[in-house]
Amino acid sequence: MGRNNIFILACLIVLSACASGGTDPYNRAVEDYCMGRLSESVESYKQAIILNPSDPRPEFNLAVIYQDQGKLEEAERLYRTILERNPGFAPAWSNLASIQEKRGQADEAEKSHRRALEADRDGCAAASQFGYFLLRAQRREEAAAVFEHSIEKDSRCANGWFGLGLVAEAKGDLRTALRSYDNALIYNPSDLEACRRSAEIMISQGERGRAVGLLQKAASLDPARGDINLLLGKLLLEEGKLKDAEKTLELARKTGAPLAECDRELSIVYGKLSEQADAKTR
């Protein structure tokens, strides 16, 4: 799923975690999900739905899990069940739109996004998701207008700022893109993609020192991202930080980065380290 569907689930989980106690099925499902016990979480959500069928939250969270697993029919059925009872539940409209878009039903997806907008007039989540939909459809000007509107409603809307960054970057306006990604990181410091894209722009502008810091932050957020580890390792090599580069490139090799590229960069690192060792023995 895209970054915004994950964002919505995360919001619901955080809100749910504030509920008192962890003994009822819903809170237990939330706890199981946070602890990585996915099958247990699914079963607890099913129990919560039976016990309280009028509460859309367990159905929604279960639908998101199914959607993440690629079980689109099951997810769609749950979203539609929610919307039959709660037509103003914006997150269900947005995630239903995501399924429709994946199936190539662009017109239906846009209708669902607009229903989400109607239901979430004061928030920015539905608007930013619609903006990403428009951006994927190459409707950049419309997307920019939607992102700007979402920020007007909530200046702290990190997804809106990130979306404006994508629009600006696609236009080649790197200064605006960098400023937008910076704002996204202010309001969502754990936004890995904003870190990565900002770093790539900084590298292109010769600001390697700042880029190293951002990539290190991104790598700490998700140590298993081989592409980020590779980019960071190459940058550390260029900065002459050979030991750090060696460690990072070896990690990149273990985390899915292209082996040939990792090996090429590592051979350069090993060569330079050997030269340094030889120089010390002279």
Same domain, 114 and 139: no
Same domain, 6 and 112: yes
Could you read off the pLDDT tens digit of each residue along the chain, which spans 282 residues?
A: 445 444 444 445 444 444 444 578 999 998 888 888 989 999 999 999 999 988 999 999 999 999 999 999 999 999 999 999 999 999 999 999 999 999 999 999 999 999 999 999 888 899 999 999 999 999 999 999 999 999 998 999 999 999 999 999 999 999 999 999 999 999 999 999 999 999 999 999 999 999 999 999 999 999 999 999 999 999 999 999 999 999 999 999 999 999 999 999 999 999 999 999 888 876
Range of the domain at 90: 1-120
Same domain, 23 and 103: yes
Q: How many domains in the chain?
A: 3
Same domain, 103 and 147: no
Same domain, 171 and 257: no
Reference 126, options 108, 149, 105, 99; nearest CA is: 149
Query: Distance between CA atoms of 221 and 207, rounded to whole angstroms?
Result: 22
Confirm if 168 and 176 have CB atoms less than 8 A apart. Answer: yes
Write down the pTM of the prediction. 0.81
Reference 251, options 272, 265, 230, 270; nearest CA is: 230
35 contacts: CB under 8 Å, gap ≥ 6: none
pLDDT for the residue 242: 96
Query: Distance between CA atoms of 277 and 282, rounded to whole angstroms?
Result: 9
Angle in degrees, CA 20, 26, 30, rounded to 5: 85
pLDDT for the residue 238: 94
Same domain, 130 and 147: yes
pLDDT for the residue 22: 53
Same domain, 57 and 99: yes
We report the CATH number of the domain holding residue 140 as 1.25.40.10
Same domain, 171 and 203: no
Reference 207, options 178, 184, 233, 186; nearest CA is: 178
Q: Among 144, 166, 185, identify where a domain stops.
A: 185
